[in-house]
Amino acid sequence: MKKILTLLFVASVFTACKNDAKTKLNSETETINAVDENVKIARQNDGLRTMVGEFIYYGDAAVLQTKNDIYGVVINEKMHELDNMAKPYKVDPTDYVTVQVRGKLIPKPEGEEGWPFRLDIKDIESVKKHVSKENEVIKLGDTQTE
């Protein structure tokens, strides 16, 4: 009988210690997640949009082409910084690079040529070499052999 009570006591001690460690880890994780969430919410409320697309700067024109739209990019210090970051990924000056940036969309002034909105870049999140799908070929035809 003593052995059973001792075994139950030892099992309950180990179980209690195990739960304390989990509780401590969970509370630390919740605190970190809450801080991350506050940063994320603050970042989302700053009026900026995150955009991913193909960026090119050539001559005196800068353009960002996303999956659905094309935007003129405001030529400023941040745009030149993005262009300098993109240069190592280009073979020719007219090559695109894939970028992820945060910026503010500004309507195009009346009477000017160009796309309806301009992007004023405020933050550069990533720059990567553009992977062209130009060489991918789809062949249609009969796959049966005679």
CATH number at residue 103: 2.40.50.140
What CA–CA distance (Å, rounded) separates 92 from 80? Answer: 17
- Identify whether 137 is part of a domain: no
Q: Which residue has the higher pLDDT, 53 or 139?
A: 53
Query: 33 and 63, same structural domain?
Result: no
Report the pLDDT value the prediction gives residue 114, as an integer from 0 to 100: 84
- Identify whether 140 is part of a domain: no
As a whole number, mean pLDDT of residues 5-10 equals 60
How does residue 21 score in pLDDT terms, banded at 50, 70 and 90? Answer: very low
What CA–CA distance (Å, rounded) separates 86 from 100? Answer: 12
Report the pLDDT value the prediction gives residue 19, as an integer from 0 to 100: 45
Q: Which residue has the higher pLDDT, 43 or 84?
A: 84
pTM: 0.61
Residues 6+ apart with CB under 8 A from 86: 55, 57, 97, 99, 127
What CA–CA distance (Å, rounded) separates 82 from 27? Answer: 40
- Domain interval for residue 33: 1-45
- Identify whether 144 is part of a domain: no
Report the pLDDT value the prediction gives residue 46, as an integer from 0 to 100: 74
Query: 40 and 8, same structural domain?
Result: yes
Query: Which two three-digit tokens encode residue 29?
Result: 């994780």
Nearest to 49 by CA among 76, 71, 34: 71
What CA–CA distance (Å, rounded) separates 77 from 53? Answer: 20
Q: What is the pLDDT of residues 58-102, one digit of tens each?
A: 888 999 999 999 999 999 999 999 999 999 999 888 888 999 999
Query: 8 and 55, same structural domain?
Result: no
